[in-house]
């Protein structure tokens, strides 16, 4: 029986070196843009929320849920963060999550990390934000309209990333686009239904208990509430308790790789820290996974908080940068 979460991201070996390096350059440029845009949009008050959301996503992504055909999926969360904070801060939050997953737990290769950041953090966040805005105009600002828009944004973020992976695999010569694109899109359309429902459910919950957080991404608006940070981090650690019972079925990419015959291309990680979401010195596999995911949740919280703080402070110290105007009370 498997107690650790299934690998979620593109490993090294699936993409050619040329494609991986090219995407790394594109991702680095867009993450730099995200830092610049975040400093213009947000203030210090919102930084703790970035850390809390990153921790929540890390813990939630460790819980694979089964979908049809013996495949599992996991929460992406780009749509949820993009709705709450805006697309560019969401890029930074998801980048912190993907980076910790790859560097600390070897979930996704180092060479392929640029592609994982592009597919999940960048395309997921920007695509979800665009779909949410468009759907909101069509459906209206009512509660039902917001929930329908959140569902559409969540579904799109997953499918968009899957389509990008298929194109990257085809460009790498791994599998013809006529085979890999329908396979990736088909399974992730199903996974996207779960993403959409979770996103809409989270927005519905926040509308009732903390409607102010739905406007947290507006410039100058946010909270430094210690209770919010402590409660959010506690919720993330509570989610981590469920990581040992994640679905044992392969995730969408792993399933497609097996079906199309390129799973053997995966290469061993260049470094090994806490691979497979376990602690090597803990014998009980369930406890080893629980503790590893708990450690990862705290590390992601710290990393995302530091990234947000550096982005905001970089903007304040930049010569000629205009200070943020206070909002009227």
Residue 8 lies in a domain: no
List the CATH number of the domain containing 301.
Answer: 1.10.1760.20
In a domain, 2, yes or no: no
How far is it, in rounded angstroms, from Cα 154 to Cα 148? 10
Q: Is 81 part of a structural domain of the chain? A: yes
pLDDT in tens, 60-104: 988 888 887 778 888 899 999 999 999 999 999 999 999 999 999
- Give Cα 267 distance to the centre of its chain: 23
d(CA 91, CA 271) in angstroms, rounded, equals 25
Which helix (H) or strand (E) segment is 39 a member of? helix 17-41
What range defines the domain where residue 151 resides?
Answer: 17-317
Let me know if residue 11 belongs to a domain. Answer: no
Q: Does 74 fall in a domain? A: yes
For residue range 213-272, list pLDDT tens digits in order.
777 665 545 555 677 788 888 888 888 888 777 777 888 888 899 999 999 998 887 777
DSSP state of 215: G
CA dihedral 96, 81, 2, 242 (to 10 degrees): 110
| CA atoms of 129 and 85, how far apart (whole Å) | 10
**What are the backbone angles phi and psi of residue 67, rounded to the nearest 5°?**
-125, -175
Q: Is residue 323 part of a domain?
A: no
Number of domains present in the structure of the chain: 1
Prediction pTM value: 0.89
Integer Cα distance of 118 and 123 in angstroms:
6
Q: Is residue 103, in this structure, part of any structural domain at all? A: yes
Concatenated DSSP letters of 249-290: S-BHHHHHHHHHT-GGG----S--SSGGG--TT--SHHHHHH
pLDDT in tens, 123-182: 999 999 999 999 999 988 888 999 999 999 999 999 999 999 999 999 999 999 999 999
């Amino acid at each position: 029986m498997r107690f650790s979460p299934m690998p979620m991201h593109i490993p090294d070996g699936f993409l050619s070196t040329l494609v991986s390096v090219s995407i790394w350059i594109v991702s680095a440029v867009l993450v730099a843009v995200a830092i610049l845009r975040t400093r213009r949009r947000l203030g210090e008050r919102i930084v703790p929320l970035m850390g809390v959301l990153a921790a929540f996503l890390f813990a939630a992504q460790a819980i694979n849920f089964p979908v049809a055909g013996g495949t599992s999926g996991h929460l992406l969360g780009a749509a949820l963060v993009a709705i709450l904070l805006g697309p560019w801060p969401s890029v930074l939050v998801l980048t912190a999550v993907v980076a910790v997953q790859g560097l600390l737990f070897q979930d996704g290769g180092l060479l392929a990390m640029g592609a994982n950041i592009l597919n999940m953090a960048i395309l997921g966040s920007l695509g979800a934000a665009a779909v949410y805005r468009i759907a909101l105009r069509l459906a209206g600002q009512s509660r039902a309209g917001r929930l329908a828009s959140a569902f559409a944004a969540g579904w799109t973020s997953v499918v968009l990333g899957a389509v990008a992976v298929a194109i990257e695999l085809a460009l790498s010569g791994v599998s013809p686009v006529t085979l890999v694109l329908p396979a990736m899109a088909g399974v992730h359309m199903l996974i996207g239904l779960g993403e959409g429902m979770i996103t809409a459910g989270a927005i519905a919950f926040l509308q009732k208990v903390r409607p102010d957080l739905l406007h947290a991404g507006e410039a100058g608006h946010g909270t430094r509430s210690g209770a919010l940070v402590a409660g959010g981090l506690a919720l993330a650690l509570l989610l981590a308790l469920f990581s040992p019972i994640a679905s044992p079925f392969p995730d969408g990419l792993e399933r497609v790789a097996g079906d199309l015959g390129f799973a053997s291309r995966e290469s061993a990680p260049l470094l090994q820290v806490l691979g497979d979401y376990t602690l090597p010195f803990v014998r009980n596999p369930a406890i080893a996974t629980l503790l590893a995911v708990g450690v990862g949740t705290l590390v992601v919280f710290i990393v995302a908080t530091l990234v947000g703080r550096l982005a905001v402070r970089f903007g304040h110290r930049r010569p000629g940068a205009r200070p943020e105007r206070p909002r009227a009370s």
